[in-house]
Amino acid sequence: MAGLLKTKPTPPRWLLAELTYACPLQCPYCSNPIDYAKYQSELATEDWKRVLTQARKMGAVQLGFSGGEPLTRQDLPELVKHARDLGYYSNLITSGYGLTEEKILQLKDAGLDHIQVSIQASSQELNDHIAGTESFEHKKQVAHLVKKHGYPMVLCVVIHRENIHQMPEILAMATELGADYLELANTQYYGWAHTNRDLLLPTQAQFEKAEAIAQAYKESDAGKMKIYYVVPDFYEDRPKACMNGWGTTFLTIAPDGVALPCHSARDLPGLDCPNVNDSSVEEIWNDSKAFNYFRGQDWMKEPCRSCDEKDKDFGGCHCQAYLLTGDMHNADPVCSKSPQHGLIQEAIASAAKSQLAENEKPLIFRNSKNSKHLS
Amino acid sequence: MTLNSELPIHFSRTHRLQWEEAQQKNVILYPEGMVELNESSSEILKLCDGTRSLAQIISALEQKFSTSGLSSDVTAFLEVALQNGWITQN
B9-89 in CATH: which number?
1.10.10.1150
Per-residue model confidence as pLDDT tens digits over B12-42: 988 999 999 999 999 999 998 999 999 999 9
pLDDT at position A220, please?
A: 83
Per-residue model confidence as pLDDT tens digits over B45-79: 999 999 999 999 999 999 999 999 999 999 999 99
Task: Quote the CA–CA distance of A142 and A119 in Å, as a whole number.
Answer: 11
Task: Quote the CA–CA distance of A131 and A121 in Å, as a whole number.
Answer: 9
pLDDT at position A221, please?
A: 62
Per-residue model confidence as pLDDT tens digits over A2-31: 444 557 899 999 999 999 999 999 999 999
pLDDT at position A223, please?
A: 56
pLDDT at position A2, please?
A: 43
Query: Is B32 in contact with A114 (Cβ distance < 8 A)?
Result: yes
pLDDT at position A6, please?
A: 59
CA dihedral A309, A311, A316, A319 (to 10 degrees): 150
Residues in chain A: 375
Among B14, B32, B85, beta carbon nearest to A91:
B32
Which residue would you say has higher pLDDT here, B87 or A359? B87
Instruction: DSSP for A215-265, please give it.
Output: HHHHHSTTTTSEEEEE--GGG-SS---GGGSTTTSEEEE-TTSBEESSTTG
Task: Quote the CA–CA distance of A277 and A254 in Å, as a whole number.
Answer: 12
Task: Quote the CA–CA distance of B77 and B90 in Å, as a whole number.
Answer: 19
Q: Is-contact A27 A192, C-beta < 8 A?
A: yes
Task: Quote the CA–CA distance of A137 and A96 in Å, as a whole number.
Answer: 11
The ipTM estimated for the assembled molecules is 0.89
Chain B residues whose beta carbon lies within 8 Å of the beta carbon of residue A62: 29, 32-34
pLDDT at position B8, please?
A: 96
Chain B residues whose beta carbon lies within 8 Å of the beta carbon of residue A58: 22
HSE, side-chain direction, 13 A CA sphere, residue A5: 3
pLDDT at position B44, please?
A: 97
CA dihedral A206, A210, A216, A220 (to 10 degrees): 160
Query: Is B18 in contact with A59 (Cβ distance < 8 A)?
Result: no
Question: Could you say which DSSP state residue A43 is in?
Answer: -
Task: Quote the CA–CA distance of A136 and A25 in Å, as a whole number.
Answer: 12
pLDDT at position A3, please?
A: 46
Per-residue model confidence as pLDDT tens digits over A84-96: 999 999 999 999 9
CA distances from B58 to A333, B37, B38, B66, B89 (A): 53, 18, 17, 12, 16
Query: Is B29 in contact with A113 (Cβ distance < 8 A)?
Result: yes
Task: Quote the CA–CA distance of A348 and A198 in Å, as a whole number.
Answer: 8
A183 bridge partner residues? A156, A228
- Local mean pLDDT, 10-residue blocks, chain A (375 residues): 62 97 95 94 98 98 97 97 98 94 97 96 94 92 95 96 96 94 95 94 95 91 79 92 93 98 92 97 97 94 95 94 96 96 95 80 91 91
CA distances from A62 to A128, B35, B61 (A): 31, 12, 31
Is B33 at the interface with chain A, CB within 8 A?
yes
